[in-house]
Amino acid sequence: MIIVTGAAGFIGSGLISRLNQDGFKNIIAVDDFSKIEKAENLEGKIIKEKVERNALFEWLDANSRDVEFIFHIGARTDTTEFDKEIFDELNVNYSKGIWEKCVAYQIPLVYASSAATYGLGEHGYDDNESTIGQLKPLNPYGDSKNEFDKWALAQEKKPFFWAGLKFFNVYGPNEYHKGRMASVIFHAYNQIKATEKMKLFRSHNPDFKDGEQMRDFIYVKDLIDVCIFFMHHRKNSGIYNLGSGRARTFKDLVTNTFLAMGKTPDISYVDTPADIRDKYQYFTQANMSKLRSIGYTRPFSTLEEGIDDYVKNYLSSTSYL
């Protein structure tokens, strides 16, 4: 059996789809299943059992000998939420509980960290474990992910294999439920469909022209490929970046969304809201050499390839992965 937490969410549901494709049918889906807006993400997936998030530890105590792997993808991911207690409960303490069960029952673990841990990038975007204690995230979400990374590295008792993956800007199918936390591509598609235009945040940094703020965007299918790689690899434990390794501008992203929709780009700019202006990242780019060094060789989709697939095969028909 393979456990996937956050199973009804964006990445977790896509991961289950891929596991099913690869012949894994004994999937234990863990989530807060009361949130019905995510239910369609699991339609058609082959799942052995659904376990409510708050019942997982008890379930593991009874069934651990049958569990082959845990993907801990679930988290509170709202970067505009400032109630630290919510993040402490769901992102830090819950993750510690999963780690401790993996140690006790010798279960290998992959968990989701985040590029939000890097803050403004003062220390770069290298997945060097010796500098994690120096990172200064910009919000409680990033803090919670970094706190768990630090805690994991400090533990004397670790699962026999574990990997924390720092997800960069992920986009792709199954994010329909995410609202304002969905990717810029998702919002661009819907805004262009409704108005034939797209508004982007203007730059308030003299080093960047409007629309040339840059992010490392990674297609969810590529991210899932890496998760599957680690499930089979099971060595070289540690914390790894997971981006495409190439920063691209928001202007590139929106232009490619227009083109995938068969429309002429029409982009304008609005002021970045004052409440986030001081904490706005103008550049992120994952250094991917660490993952490459342990034998991961698959290429990552270009932004053009990822957007074209996402728009034409999923967004245009509201299809799911």
Number of other CB atoms surrounding residue 43 within 10 Å? 8
Binding residues: 10-11, 31-32, 38, 53, 73-77, 145, 169-170, 178, 180, 187, 201-204, 215, 280
Instruction: Pick the closest to residue 285 from 242, 236, 230, 247 (CA basis).
Output: 247
Concatenating the DSSP letter of every residue in 193-243 gives: HHHS-EEEEPP-STTS-TT--EE-EEEHHHHHHHHHHHHHH--S-EEEEES
The one catalytic residue in 141, 176, 219, 240 is: 141
Asked if 252 and 194 count as a contact pair (C-beta separation under 8 A), the reply is: no
Distance, in Å, from the CA atom of 291 to the CA atom of 94, rounded to the nearest integer, reads 26
Number of other CB atoms surrounding residue 66 within 10 Å? 10
The one catalytic residue in 178, 199, 269, 282 is: 178
Distance, in Å, from the CA atom of 129 to the CA atom of 293, rounded to the nearest integer, reads 15
Binding residues for substrate: 169, 180, 187, 201-204, 215, 280
* b/e per residue 75-100 (b: at least 16 CB within 10 A): bbbbbeeeeeeebeebbbebbeebbe
Binding residues for NADP(+): 10-11, 31-32, 38, 53, 73-77, 145, 170, 178
Distance, in Å, from the CA atom of 226 to the CA atom of 228, rounded to the nearest integer, reads 5
Q: What crossing angle do the helices spanning 94-105 and 140-154 adopt, rounded to 10°?
A: 20
Local structure of residue 53 (DSSP, 8 states): G
Cross-strand partners of 5: 30, 72
Q: Is 141 annotated in the active site?
A: yes
Q: Is 189 annotated in the active site?
A: no
Q: Which residues contact 83 (CB under 8 A, 6 or more apart)?
A: 140
Catalytic residues: 141, 178
